[in-house]
Amino acid sequence: MIDFRQKNVRSAGATDVVVIGAGHAGLATSYCLNERSIDHVVLERGEVANSWRKERWDSLKLLTPNWQSRLPGFRYAGDDPDGFMSMPEVVDFIQAYADFSSAPVKTNTTVTSVRQNEDGYRVETDSGQWQAKSVVIASGACNVAAKPKVADSVPADITSLTPHLYRGPEQLDVGGVLVVGASATGLQLADEIGRAGHDVTIAVGEHVRMPRTYRGHDIQVWLERTGILNECYDEVDDVVRARGLPSPQLIGSSDRKMLDLNHLIDNGVRLAGRLMGVNDGIAQFSGSLRNVCALADLKMNRLLGTIDNWIETHPVLCDAPERLDDTQTDDSPTLSVDLNDGSIRTIIWATGFRPDYSWLDVPVLDRKGRIRHDGGVVDAPGMYVVGLPVLRRRKSSFIHGVEDDVRDLTRHLHSYLDAGGREIRPPDVSTVQPLKNLAGMG
Ligand SMILES: Cc1cc2nc3c(=O)[nH]c(=O)nc-3n(C[C@H](O)[C@H](O)[C@H](O)COP(=O)(O)OP(=O)(O)OC[C@H]3O[C@@H](n4cnc5c(N)ncnc54)[C@H](O)[C@@H]3O)c2cc1C
């Protein structure tokens, strides 16, 4: 029996492993380290589940259903498995996990520097120093909203917001809103702001269209059952591209509603192509709107075809195949908007997120600032990273996706410690092999 009741977390000293971040990925790592009786501490700059407390908008619900909310040793146990958690519910879920596992979390402790030394790593925080043989970076993939360069050219009297600063439509000035980006975030914000009575334009680049339900089941049922989400990082054709793909256009709601560009159009939102530049206050959009939408429709239909093929060889109760209408695009979409004429008062940059490694003083970042790793085994002895998109599998950045990765990586870490800090090979990905034809997943 494992004793999960570690108490009185030390504020500094020596340990085998420092885990940085107490989101679900750091806590899952802690659980697996506990299972192996590996001494460790989890350092968290805020509270447990800090990102869900501080960096999400008020109306956001998970786009993964409750039945999919599971972590090592723990799973959703409420009475609404097909529902979607609100932000306070996600915070409660992750806090409950921290309590259940008695993770040795030191909250309100910001890691300010990690340096390599002859005994492993020196981890400095704003309240003490740690010496560790190994470090697991679980500090999140979405610490910073990634604004494109063009944001610098926007006239100063227009309010620029990122999803981290957006809470709800009531905070916006009266007037039009330009939402840049059509991933899950951009779509959800454009929908909410449009419904609140603002005139909304959405700039649409590459996106991943996906129905909420297909053949009578939630799309996540199919993504799991077909094995699509288990595809391994070393089997993905272009893993760099896969790691940068926008999140699928999904929304979690009690009526399981679908949200795509057609729904936005029906609700009065105007579509434009990708925002290419702002010159003298004129926003210029690409003419490729029709093409990017056609490509997203094509990929979605390929994905549905993959699911149909799987169903043919697996007995499962479900409805007949169906296809959605293609995205309706204008023959002559908006190519420019004058940002000087007062019609647009706010721009929301729903253009993705990136991690922040400004505290990491170990030379493991590539020239784009991405951490160099092989399936989570970082390019520095005894250092690991968890929770990044397609880290070891397609599901890696999702709550339900972290367990397999963390089990692989803590096994590797254990061997590393046992070997006295000698380099060892990355672990093989050890789950069911998924379908080979993953067309539609980018
Ligand atoms: C808008 C949005 C919607 C999402 N929806 C879903 C969904 O529906 N379902 C799903 O499964 N996933 C979803 N995700 C993806 C994913 O679950 C989240 O990004 C999740 O927060 C990642 O967990 P994590 O533990 O890797 O990182 P985080 O939750 O970000 O945790 C990292 C922790 O590290 C701490 N930290 C960072 N830097 C330091 C430092 N220097 N010192 C100390 N502590 C530090 C942070 O405060 C934070 O608490 C969504 C993500 C976003 C952005």
- End-to-end, the C-alpha distance of the chain in Å comes to 43
Which pLDDT does position 4 carry in this prediction?
40
pLDDT tens for each residue of 200-220: 999 999 999 999 999 999 999
The label of the residue with tokens 């109306």 reads 59
Instruction: Tell me 394's DSSP state.
Output: T
* Structure tokens given for 303: 């994905």
Q: Is the pLDDT of residue 6 over 80?
A: no
Nearest CA to ligand 1 atom 11: 398
Distances (CA, A) of 255 to 223, 318, 319, 320: 20, 19, 19, 21
Percent of the chain with pLDDT over 70: 94
Contact by Cβ (8 Å): 390, 405: no
Helices (H) and strands (E) in the chain, counts: 9, 23
Instruction: Tell me 81's DSSP state.
Output: T
Quote the ligand 1 centre to 43 CA distance (angstroms).
Answer: 14
Strand order in the sheet with 159-161: 159-161, 344-349, 176-180, 200-203, 270-272
Say how far apart CA 132 and CA 13 lie, in whole Å: 9
Residue closest to 18 by CA, chosen among 358, 359, 389: 359
Which region holds residue 429: left if phi is over 0, alpha if psi is between -120 and 50, else beta? Answer: beta
Say how far apart CA 110 and CA 128 lie, in whole Å: 10
162-189 burial code (b ≥16 CB/10 A, e <16): bbbebeebeebeeebbbbbbbbbbbbbb
* Residue 234: other Cβ atoms inside 10 A: 12
Q: Which of 9-18, 32-41, 401-410 has the lowest mean pLDDT?
A: 9-18
Which atom of ligand 1 is found nearest the CA of 21?
34
Nearest CA to ligand 1 atom 6: 62
Q: What is the mean pLDDT of residues 247-267?
A: 94
Start-end of H helices in 5-140: 24-35, 50-54, 87-101
pLDDT band at 11 (very low <50, low <70, confident <90, very high): confident
Would you say the CB of residue 148 lies under 6 angstroms from ligand 1?
A: no
Which atom of ligand 1 is found nearest the CA of 46?
47
Quote the ligand 1 centre to 52 CA distance (angstroms).
Answer: 7
Would you say the CB of residue 269 lies under 6 angstroms from ligand 1?
A: no
Would you say the CB of residue 142 lies under 6 angstroms from ligand 1?
A: yes
| Mean pLDDT estimate for the chain | 93
Q: What is the mean pLDDT of residues 182-194?
A: 97
Would you say the CB of residue 396 lies under 6 angstroms from ligand 1?
A: no
Quote the ligand 1 centre to 244 CA distance (angstroms).
Answer: 16
Would you say the CB of residue 61 lies under 6 angstroms from ligand 1?
A: no
Percent of the chain with pLDDT over 90: 89
Q: What is this structure's pTM?
A: 0.93
Which pLDDT does position 441 carry in this prediction?
53
pLDDT tens for each residue of 384-410: 999 999 999 999 999 999 999 999 999
Which pLDDT does position 440 carry in this prediction?
52
Which pLDDT does position 253 carry in this prediction?
92
Which pLDDT does position 434 carry in this prediction?
43
Q: Is the pLDDT of residue 9 over 90?
A: no
Q: Is the pLDDT of residue 438 over 60?
A: no
Quote the ligand 1 centre to 342 CA distance (angstroms).
Answer: 36
pLDDT tens for each residue of 283-319: 999 999 999 999 999 999 999 999 999 999 998 999 9
Quote the ligand 1 centre to 50 CA distance (angstroms).
Answer: 8
Which pLDDT does position 10 carry in this prediction?
77
Which pLDDT does position 430 carry in this prediction?
52
Q: Is the pLDDT of residue 59 over 90?
A: yes
Q: Is the pLDDT of residue 18 over 50?
A: yes
* Residue 356: other Cβ atoms inside 10 A: 13
Substitution site in 9, 42, 43, 45 for ligand 1 pocket (most atoms within 8 Å of beta carbon): 45
Q: Is the pLDDT of residue 417 over 90?
A: yes
Instruction: Tell me 425's DSSP state.
Output: P
Nearest CA to ligand 1 atom 10: 398
pLDDT band at 104 (very low <50, low <70, confident <90, very high): very high
Q: What is the mean pLDDT of residues 82-93?
A: 97
Nearest CA to ligand 1 atom 7: 62
Which pLDDT does position 435 carry in this prediction?
44
pLDDT tens for each residue of 325-365: 999 998 888 999 999 999 999 999 999 999 999 999 999 99
Q: What is the mean pLDDT of residues 48-73?
A: 97
Q: Is the pLDDT of residue 74 over 70?
A: yes
H/E element holding 295?
helix 289-312
Which pLDDT does position 433 carry in this prediction?
43
Q: What is the mean pLDDT of residues 278-286?
A: 97
Which pLDDT does position 315 carry in this prediction?
86
Q: Determine what percent of the chain falls in helix, strand and coil, rounding each to the nearest 5.
A: 25, 20, 50
Which pLDDT does position 429 carry in this prediction?
59
Would you say the CB of residue 22 lies under 6 angstroms from ligand 1?
A: yes
Which atom of ligand 1 is found nearest the CA of 50?
49
DSSP, collapsed to helix, strand or coil, labels residue 101 as helix
pLDDT tens for each residue of 362-379: 999 999 999 999 999 999
Start-end of H helices in 200-270: 219-225, 239-243, 261-266
Quote the ligand 1 centre to 437 CA distance (angstroms).
Answer: 30
Q: Is the pLDDT of residue 8 over 70?
A: no
Q: Which of 130-139, 154-163, 433-442 has the lowest mean pLDDT?
A: 433-442
